């Protein structure tokens, strides 16, 4: 509950700060000019600069999977903590610099306006029919295509690459870079097309581009040709850049029309409602996406348990590689003795934590359809507990002996103790990996018993998991480190496929991710066709405002 409360509070603070920033930021963009096409170019420039930074964003997940950030045995969540700190260290100074460089045009004229109550301004903005049609257009489409963003990482990882997060992260990085580059380049055709077709028609073109992107995914989501995913990415990126750039620009046109009628600039009121609906679309998409993941019967428990095995094996493999290097460069037996002592102490501490974990697991009630699974689980946990306790006792005995014989043990004996400590440490880590694998086997057995349509899938996964367990059983901690290193490399390559989801889940994920945005796009087109602020009327408003403002200034 503490972690849930912490993340909820953090997200509330973060998104509140985003809103406080974005509303005056967007309203300021509208105030920069009263020329509708210059305004489009202005928001295009904003998108251009934003996409320059966005080119690096997709690689953050790949960076979080690098060992330098997540550490040995860590996962992408551990890595993302340090990646986010690195990003903050870059962006915060730049943001402060740009903030102090900004100047607000027309501030004195707007500041002299009579202050009006908040709810009066909200009621006035909501009474504008064109604004409502535009906002509903943006809201429905933003909600639909936020599903693409929220579910977009699941398809490459679990459908295209069968659960391999590293390969999926690499493709997501390339895909995100293509997205950002397309967004940068799409600014130029937007500024050419919009004046010729008009903003409303260009917005319809944007929606059609995004629909084409969704339809192309039927073919382009292909495990045999993973890089086909770039095709819908290009179409979707171009369509979304057109759509959201024009959306903000069109709110500015509505503000100009309102200014001509009332003589008051109310960009803040209009943009706050506009932004609120975008955020509500994002929030609804986030809420529904979670429910849809459950609807697709995605097995998060399976993924979590495989992650635990993968993290454990990677930690062991990394440790063995360190030991190989350590032994290759060993010249001083006293140094080896110190390392053996420190390693024995660290392993005993690790055993204490592992013992606590085993105690909690023994006390935790785990319901299985087959009562034999419950008995088997308890027996395996008790066995792991016994092995842990006996290993800890041997390590304490070794540490006590070496302490009592300090300076009196010859080099050969030190080397023997060093190898024994390594073997015991390795034995503990392997026991943990085997425990996690047993937990996965029990979970898959339970899912297999509950499933009516995916027995073949679970049979294959269970067989692969059993083979993994056998490979772990065959690793002898007393073998040469070189042999163990080769065995671990073989084991590591066989883990990722264990995350593969059922055919039903993979099908439903694609149906939801492709179909829902298409459905909501129909509503967006319905609303935008009822937007009546034409290009001719927009240009007329521009000229009338210029004439009026010149008269006021004179």
Predicted confidence band of residue 166 (pLDDT cuts 50, 70, 90): confident
- pLDDT, mean of residues 287-298: 81
Higher pLDDT, 193 or 169: 193
The pTM assigned to this predicted structure is: 0.76
Domain boundary among 500, 523, 545: 500
Query: Residue 59 falls within a domain, yes or no?
Result: no
Mean pLDDT over residues 404-431, rounded? 79
Rounded Cα distance, 486 and 477, in Å: 13
Lowest mean pLDDT among 42-46, 132-136, 304-308: 42-46
Between 405 and 28, residue with greater pLDDT: 28
**Is residue 5 domain-resident?**
no
| pLDDT, position 231 | 94
pLDDT at 406: 64
Residue 292 and residue 310 in one domain: no
Task: Encode pLDDT of 37-67 as tens digits.
Answer: 777 887 887 777 777 776 677 677 778 877 7
Q: What is the mean pLDDT of residues 278-283?
A: 81
Q: CA–CA separation, 207 vs 474, rounded Å? A: 57
> What is the pLDDT at residue 336?
76
Does one domain contain both 286 and 156?
yes
- The answer to whether residue 370 scores a pLDDT higher than 80 is no
pLDDT of residue 101: 75
The answer to whether residue 293 sits within a structural domain is yes
Record the tokens describing residue 11, joined without a space: 């997200």
**Which of 90-104, 345-359, 520-534 has the highest average model confidence (pLDDT)?**
520-534
Q: Decide if pLDDT at 211 tops 90.
A: yes
Same domain, 194 and 258: yes
Which of 230, 306, 325, 272 is closest to 462 using CA atoms? 306
* Separation of alpha carbons 346 and 246, rounded Å: 60
pLDDT at 107 over 60: no
Domain tally, the chain: 2
pLDDT of residue 143: 84
Domain boundary among 500, 516, 540: 500
Residue 249 lies in a domain: yes
What is each CA distance from 197 to 103, 149, 240, 310, 330, in whole angstroms? 33, 29, 17, 54, 75
Q: Residues 270, 251: contact at Cβ < 8 Å?
A: yes
CATH number, domain with residue 137: 1.20.1250
> What whole-number distance in Å separates Cα of residue 384 and Cα of residue 358?
8
Domain-embedded: residue 396: yes
Residues 509 and 425 both lie in one domain: no
Establish if 353 belongs to a structural domain.
Answer: yes
Read out DSSP for 81-133? HHHHHHHHHHHHHHHHHHHHH---TTHHHHHTSPP--HHHHHHHHHT-HHHHH
pLDDT at 405 over 70: no
The whole-number pLDDT of residue 195 equals 87
Q: Which segment, 81-90, 209-218, 284-293, 380-389, is predicted with the most confidence on average?
A: 209-218
Task: Check pLDDT > 70 for residue 313.
Answer: yes
Q: Do 307 and 203 share a structural domain?
A: no
Task: Work out the widest C-alpha separation in the chain, in whole angstroms.
Answer: 101
């Amino acid at each position: 509950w503490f972690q849930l409360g912490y993340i909820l509070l953090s997200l509330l603070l973060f998104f509140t700060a985003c809103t406080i920033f974005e509303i005056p930021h967007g309203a300021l963009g509208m105030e920069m000019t009263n020329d509708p096409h210059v305004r489009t170019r202005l928001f295009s420039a904003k998108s251009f600069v934003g996409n320059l930074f966005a080119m690096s964003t997709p690689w953050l997940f790949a960076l979080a999977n690098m060992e330098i950030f997540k550490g040995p045995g860590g996962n992408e969540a551990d890595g993302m903590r340090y990646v986010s700190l690195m990003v903050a260290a870059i962006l915060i100074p730049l943001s402060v610099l740009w903030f102090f460089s900004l100047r607000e045009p027309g501030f004195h004229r707007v500041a002299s306006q009579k202050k009006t109550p908040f709810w009066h301004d909200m009621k006035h903005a909501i009474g504008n029919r064109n604004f409502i049609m535009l906002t509903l257009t943006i809201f429905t489409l933003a909600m639909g295509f936020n599903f693409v963003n929220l579910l977009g990482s699941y398809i490459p990882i679990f459908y295209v690459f069968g659960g391999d997060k590293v390969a999926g992260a690499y493709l997501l990085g390339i895909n995100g870079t293509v997205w950002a580059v397309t967004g940068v380049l799409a600014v130029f055709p937007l500024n050419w097309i919009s004046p010729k077709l008009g903003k409303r028609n260009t917005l319809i073109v944007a929606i059609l581009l995004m629909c084409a992107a969704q339809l192309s995914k039927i073919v382009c989501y292909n495990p045999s040709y993973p890089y086909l995913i770039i095709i819908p990415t290009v179409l979707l990126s171009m369509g979304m850049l057109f759509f959201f750039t024009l959306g903000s620009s069109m709110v500015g046109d509505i503000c100009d029309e309102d200014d001509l009628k009332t003589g008051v600039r109310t960009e803040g009121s209009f943009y706050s409602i506009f932004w609120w609906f975008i955020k509500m679309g994002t929030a609804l998409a986030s809420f529904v996406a979670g429910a849809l993941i459950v609807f697709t019967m995605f097995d998060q428990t399976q993924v979590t348990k495989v992650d635990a095995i993968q993290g454990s094996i990677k930690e062991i493999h990394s440790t063995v590689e360190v030991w190989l290097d350590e032994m290759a460069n060993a010249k001083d037996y006293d140094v080896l003795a110190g390392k053996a002592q420190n390693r024995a102490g660290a392993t005993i501490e690790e055993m204490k934590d592992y013992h606590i974990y085993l105690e909690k697991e023994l006390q935790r009630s785990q319901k299985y359809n087959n009562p034999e699974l419950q008995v088997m689980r308890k027996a395996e946990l008790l066995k792991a507990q016994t092995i842990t306790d006996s290993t800890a006792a041997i390590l304490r005995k070794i540490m006590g002996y070496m302490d009592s014989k300090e300076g009196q043990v010859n080099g050969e004996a030190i080397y023997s103790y060093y190898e024994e400590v390594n073997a015991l440490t390795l034995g503990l880590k392997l026991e943990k990996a085997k425990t996690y694998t047993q937990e996965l086997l029990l979970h898959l057995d339970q899912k297999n018993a509950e499933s009516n349509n995916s027995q073949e899938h679970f049979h294959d996964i269970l067989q692969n998991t059993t083979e993994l367990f056998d490979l772990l059983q065959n690793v002898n901690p007393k073998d040469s480190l070189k042999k163990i290193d080769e065995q671990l490399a073989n084991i590591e390559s066989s883990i990722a496929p264990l995350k593969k989801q059922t055919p039903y889940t993979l099908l439903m994920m694609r149906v939801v991710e492709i179909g829902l945005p298409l459905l909501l796009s129909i509503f967006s087109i319905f609303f935008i066709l009822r937007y009546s602020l034409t290009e001719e009327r927009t240009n007329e408003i521009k000229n009338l405002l210029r004439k009026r403002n010149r008269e006021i200034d004179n």
